[in-house]
Structure formats: structure tokens, C-alpha cells
Structure 1
């Protein structure tokens, strides 16, 4: 059995930046990082490679797993803010959280060959315009690299770290035990045997949320129920939102509906981007990304509209609720469903004939259908109301040919009870990133990995 000082389970944003920090500080600690997905060069989605038209359920999904995690094939957008994207500031303090995210930004830019703009919503007139229509623009600084440049940055980070930090890919961690005699953790994998270590950092992201919950239950670590966000991915001509995306790029807009007082928000806005399907534990959902290279861009902008759902006793499993809705979409359409906004409000199904007359060309091949058969009425009513509200600041949003893909679900792990250094009650066991329920964005997850790596180097 090979021994390490630290084992990181998961090579997502937190794991990548923890491994970078161990390398950058040239620590003497022996570190191993394990991920069930591919290394960076093997992360190719067969849809994007042109081999298939629809998601074929690759296991593991190259969009969700592997070096860089779900952020690798995203649009490379980093929001430097504590107004959304998680609660890291509640653990490390407001100023320190921002400093850590700004450090992440500096590291990323140091590996970037191009010039990326840092957008800011604080100086935009959009906030005033939005407020006039009961829409609230959240403050943030936004760095956008694009999917293409984001991949190249991560490739360089991998090359930088791989000789200092051991990395195992296509390897599933089945279980973690604690040896009372040696005071070491035993990490058991499917096909690479067992490894021992003094400290374990669980960084398996949202796709590993169920597994993290199982490990926490095993060690009697407290979990607190979280939320699930359910909605659609909106796609429309880029001209409709051009005045907004040219100004702030990512506009996080929140609206409280008149019908239910529910909060609906825009999420992950991708100017001139593409809509993509992703596989989360066998369930096909929808997402979006954008390239920085103009040759790879589309004529459309896409973004998510999400309704937050928080549950009270006796119901606790919010992720199961979200999964059940996504499964309905998979059942009806074999994956992602697509519907024109005009058909939705008129109560009719989009079909091939209606889609053939649509002026907005979809960037993802999906099955035309009826989202009202999938998404519960309350959430769907709230999404429709939000679209009409957005139409007031971006005329054309409520056009009949605006496309809606469903469903988009943002799963959040139950919040793991950790201290200010993200250590659980089980000494030596840390939970970082999205898998711990405290961070929900690339910036915060990456900063979380840096914070824990620094703490471990100073306290071992």
C-alpha cells in the first residue's frame, strides 16, 4: 500500500487549484489526486467531436468529469463576488474570500496567452434600468476566457502540476476508512488498490454529492439540507441581449414573481454561445458555453432561467426532486426537450413542422416537445413571468421563436458541517468545493482549494 501525506478525491476546480498551490509552494508533502474521469487531453465530448448528434450517456461523462471538473468544458467564466456563487465568505471572511478569488484570477491570467477583459456590473447603467422593472442586477466582476482558451489554460496547469502531484485518472474511489492503529485514512479504489494518507480532501464536485453524503454518514458528520434549482436554458438571437452582454457580459438578474413570490434568476449567460447536453449520474440535462474565438461562435446567446426550490420538514432530498423532473424530460424526449416560447404560452407542443418555420436556429439537436408535461406548473409559470419581465429591458426576449431547452437542473450537495478551514468533525477529513455545498461557482470552488492547500502546508 502506497503512503501519502494528502489525498485529494476529485480533480475539479478545487482539486486543480489545491494541486497547483502545492506545486507553486514547492511543498515536500506527498500528494495524490484521484478522479474518475479522463485527464485533460482525453476530455472530448463525442457530440462536439461530431461523432454523434445526441448524448449517448458516456460513463464517465467527459463534460462533467476529469481534470478541471465540470468547469473545463464550460465557457470559462469566473465571477469574482460573494453576492452569489456560494457562501465561502461565511467561513473565511468577506475580504479574504475576495482576495482568494482575485488570486485565482491572477493564476489563470498567468497561464493565458490572450487578453481577456474583466467586466464589472458595478459601473453599469443596467442596474438602474433593471430596477425600474423590478429586476435586480447583482454586483460582480466577471472574467471570461471562453471554452477554447479555458481548455488551454487548464492544459498548462496540468503540465505545471503533474510532476509534483501524483495524479490518477479513470479511477473511482469506492470507500474511505480510518485506521485507528496508524491514525491514517485508507482510500480504496476500484482497480488501483488502496492508498493510505494522513489527510483526505474530498473535492468531488456536484457529480460526487451523493458519494460525499455517504462518506459523511459513515463518519457521523452532520449534513444540512440544501436547495435545487430547476429551470430551462433560453436561446435567442444574440442581438436581443447584445447591449447587455457587450456591457457586463454576465448579467446575474434576479426577479421575484408576482404570482408566487418565487425568486427566478438568470444564470450562465453565453453570448454567441452553444447549448450543450450533460450527463449527471446517468441523467441528461442541459447547459451552455461560449468560445472566445469568433470563428467558433454562433449567432445566438443562451442563458439559464432557474427557480430556486428550498424544502422544509419532512422532505429532505432536494436532489431527488430535481432528478425526478429531469427523468421526465429524458423519458419523453430521450434526453433534452426543445420548445418555442410561442408554443409554450399557447399550450401546444413544438414539433418538427413548427420548428422548421422557426427563425432561431438551435445550436443543440434536441427533441421538439412540450415542457409543460415536465416542469411543474409553479416553476413554469414563474419562468414565463420572468421572460416577460426580461422583455422590458431586452425587447425580443418574449418573441415566439425564443427557444427553451429543458430541463436545466442545478444540484447542490447537502451542506457539510465544516469549520473555517473546511475540516469536518472527523479530524483530517476536509470537504471543499461544490461537493461540500458551500461553493457553487468556479471562482469560489477554486479559491476554496487554494485556502485548504495553504492551511495544510502550514499545519502538517
Structure 2
């Protein structure tokens, strides 16, 4: 293989995939390579889902987090078209342009989809009024849901579409990036060297530490960011059916009375399942949902997250989140599970109590006590939010509501980039969730399209 390229893309997540798609569609006159630490999409099979094991065994690489499509591949295939959450892309390209890019991404996904996906919207929903009447705030968005099953098939087709144009290397980590007179040299863990004129860093959230290292090496400014800490809730689907039938993904924000902290719902999965995922060796929890009724469960799951933003002298917000997740891993060997009734009564959940639980968990987790893991302030916030949600969804605060912990959303320190998403190092671009600019599938994908169009004008 000739190791000289015009463009190298590090990371095959949503931004890298959509940059590759747009390069292919535009038939750019450039030689392009995409490198990822994970597997090609057809080999991305979690051993838990395959029925080989019951709990996360910390596969390297983690097939849920890494590989073609990134963490979004095996997610529930939910794309939020909005500037109200999911990142700050609009601050770089403008409000209208950001929405236009996300709607373009939506059109591409629908083109490769053989099903009949539904586009939900909060605009005409009476849920917004109901939420306001109970001191809750529903954020506006359009939501396209494909489901994990169809999302995988869509990405397989996109992969096949770009294969003739984009060289792809798997199970390979980029260890070092060096500037040269003509561009960059990329050195991998396998001792290979690749040379390029333009470099796109699209390593996603799981590559946030690596991107920070590259930026510090190249004196690129980084702005300290936040970390979200919380739990994944699992309830009978009927409790939230009147909400999910209307808007599917309801982003509800609540300001607690006790601390004035913001708590939000995140990643709602009607009739879905709870899953474990491995981020940098730390096992956390997430959720998926399917479009095929045969694959659906009797439960709905979603996260309740508390935002934590730190001031000087502390800067490593991700390490704070990881340390809390490690406590859960230490006590439970992975994910901890607790009934809400047990949490309120100040007792741990155990196997005996779980056998009496009417809500059947979709993830094999260790019954335990989340109060030994999650700091009091965040746990108080979560409990207050559960009681607030119970006012618009009676049954939310039932004793058998399940809490899985911990769920942590890591954000990369925000990389300083211009409107073209180019860093202060000429020819080095940073896109997707790893840049800190985006925090969602739609915005990450849109940033990939944007950078591809920028570079297309260069070649």
C-alpha cells in the first residue's frame, strides 16, 4: 500500500463516516485514508448481545464504542435535528446552516433506509404545556428514529458506498502525529507511517483523551468542559407511553429546588434495552431501542443526568466522572442496579428483593446500593427529578423503578477551531464529539459533511 495520502481521517465515528460519504459523493480529486481502533461494521458484535456472556468482559476494542460508525452504530439510531441541544455547531457555521446540514444528513440516512422511519416533533405536542405546568421544560427538536437494527443496515450500505473511494484500516491506533513540511506524518501502534497534506481528527468521545494529547503537543488551545453524571432509569413502557408516542425522544430539563442544579432526561428508548459499554476501560451504562417489534422489550429506559462544570484549579472533569464509574465497577464488577424503593429506604437491593421486583431488568447487573457510589448532591438531584417526572408520568416514582449506575457522558475539552473547524495548525481539522463542538449523532454527522465540503474546494 502506498502510504502517501492527501487526506487522513482518524476515527470512523459519525463525523468520519459522513465526511467520507460526502467526499465520495463529491468525487473529490484526493486520495483518502480512514483509520479506526475498532472493527469493520460486520464484525461489531457485542458478546453480551450474542448471548456468549452475561456481563461486560471489557473487550478490546469495545464493539459498542468503536468501529465503523462509532458509538452511534449500535445505539438506538436516533437523530435529533436541533440547535437547542446536542452541541454548538451552530456557533461556528450559523443557525440556519447547522439545521440545513443536519437535515441533509437526515435525507442521506433516509435514502439508505428501506423502512418507513418516523419524524417526531415537539412543536405540536401538548406535552410542553403539561411539563411547564409542573416546573419542567421540554426542549424543542425534530427526532428521526431508525432503531438499532435498521441503523446498522443503513451504515452497512454507506460503508459499501464509500469503499471504492476511501481506504480503511481497522484495529489500528494512531499513537503519534508529527508535522512535516508538506503536512503530517501519522504513526500507528503497528509501526506504520502514513503521510498526508490534511488531517481530520474525528476520534469521538472515546478518543477525547487522545485528541487532548495531540492538541497539547501542538499548542492548540483547549477549553475545560463538563461531565454529566447520573443513572439509567428503566420502567414499564406504559408509564411513559403517552409521552413517547407523541415525541419519542423527550428532552426534559428540571432545576432542582435543593441545589438549583440542572437535571435532564437523555437518550430515551421506548420498548428498548439497557446495555453496558466500555469507555477507556471503565464500564458504564447506556440504552438501545429497536424498530422491529420482535426485538422490543416491555420497558422504556432513559438517562437522568446532572451536569457538572468545574472551575479552577480543577480541570480534569472526565477523570472525575471516570473515578465515580470506577467505584461502581469496584463494588459491582461493572454496572450496579437498585430499585428506587430500596434507594429511598436507605437499603441496598439484593437478589432476594430483585426476585420480587415487578419490573424485569433487561441488563444483567449487580444488585447494590448506588448511594455508595454517586455523590450525595447528584443523587439528591436525581431523586428530586424522579418525583418531578412522576407528576407528568404517574408511576415514575414507583418502588420497582430501576436505576442502573452509573451513566457518565464524557465531553472532550473544547478544541479551539474556526468556522471551517480548522485548528490553529494549518491543515489540521477537528470534528465530531471529540472536538467538544458536537455532542450528538446529528451534529457530529453534520460536522463531517461540513469539513468535506470545505476540503473539496481545496482539491
Q: Same fold (TM over 0.5)?
A: yes
Q: CA deviation at 1:155?
A: 0.3
Helix, strand or coil at the partner of 2:265: strand
Mapping of 1:43-54 within 5 angstroms?
A: 43-54=44-55
Structure-2 separation of matches of 1:2 and 1:246 = 51
> Matched residue of 2:220: which SS?
coil
Q: Is the 8 A contact 1:171 1:192 kept in 2?
A: no
Q: Name 2:395's counterpart in structure 1.
A: 396
Aligned match of 1:211: 210
- Equivalent-residue separation in structure 1 for 2:252 and 2:414 (angstroms): 25
Matched, 1:2 2:3: yes
- CA offsets 1:251-303 (integer angstroms, 9 cap, x no match): 00000000000000000000000000000010000000100000000000000
- The answer to whether structure 1 residue 92 and structure 2 residue 87 are counterparts is no
Structure 2 counterpart SS, 1:383: helix
Q: Contact (CA 8 Å) 1:275, 1:286: kept in 2 or not?
A: yes
Q: Structure 1 CA distance, aligned partners of 2:77 and 2:3?
A: 35
Q: Distance in 1 between matches of 2:109 and 2:395?
A: 36
Per the alignment, residue 177 of structure 1 pairs with: 178
Q: Partners in 1 of 2:226 and 2:141 — Cα distance?
A: 22
In structure 2, the partner of 1:36 is 37
TM-score (norm 1): 0.99
Contact 1:358 1:401 in 2 (8 A): yes
8 A Cα contact 1:8 1:203, kept in partner: yes
1:429 pairs with 2:428: yes
**Structure 2 equivalent of residue 417 of structure 1:** 416
Distance 2:25 2:118 in 1: 25
* Partner Cα separation in structure 2 for residue 189 and residue 3 of structure 1: 14
Between the aligned partners of 2:219 and 2:246, the Cα distance in structure 1 is 48
Deviation (angstroms), 1:459: 2.1
SS at match of 1:399: coil
SS in 1 for 2:318: helix
Judge conservation of contact 1:80–1:101 (CA < 8 Å) in 2.
yes
Q: Are 2:179 and 1:187 aligned?
A: no
> How far apart are residue 192 of structure 1 and its match?
5.8
How many residues are aligned here? Answer: 458
Alignment of 1:61-460 (within 5 A): 61-180=62-181, 183-191=182-190, 193-460=192-459
The CA distance in 2 between the partners of 1:452 and 1:140, in whole Å, is: 24
Q: Tell me, in whole angstroms, the C-alpha distance in 2 between the residues paired with 1:57 and 1:439.
A: 27
Question: Matched residue of 1:2: which SS?
Answer: coil
Q: Distance in 1 between matches of 2:433 and 2:213?
A: 16
Residue 27 of structure 1: CA displacement?
1.3
Q: Separation in 1 of the partners of 2:416 and 2:101?
A: 22
Whole-angstrom CA distance in 1 between matches of 2:172 and 2:29: 25
The DSSP-based 3-state class of the residue aligned with 1:303 is strand
Runs of 4+ with >6 A deviation: none
Cα drift, residue 145 of structure 1: 0.1
Unaligned runs of 5+ in 1: none
Write the deviation string for residues 333-365 of structure 1: whole angstroms up to 9, x where unpaired: 000000000000110000000000000000000
Q: What is the distance in 1 between the residues matched to 2:7 and 2:445?
A: 18
> Cα offset for 1:179?
1.3
Q: Deviations over 1:16-69 (max 9, x none)?
A: 000000111111211100000000000000000000000000001000000000
Structure 2 Cα separation of the partners of residues 452 and 217 of structure 1: 22
- Once superposed, what is the RMSD of the aligned Cα atoms? 0.6
Counterpart position of 1:56: 57
Q: TM-score, normalised by structure 2?
A: 0.99
Q: CA deviation at 1:247?
A: 0.4
Residue in 2 that maps onto 1:27: 28
User: Residues of 1 paired with 2:232 and 2:124: CA distance?
Assistant: 28
Q: CA deviation at 1:184?
A: 1.9
* Partner SS for 2:74: coil
CA contact (8 A) 1:35 1:169 kept: yes
Distance in 1, matches of 2:275 and 2:129, equals 33
Which structure 2 segments of 5+ residues have no match? Answer: none
8 Å contact from structure 1 (residues 235, 302) kept in 2: yes
Query: Secondary structure of 1:3's match?
Result: coil
Query: For residues 142 and 191 of structure 2, what CA distance do their matches in structure 1 show?
Result: 42
Alignment partners' CA distance in 1, 2:122 and 2:437 = 24
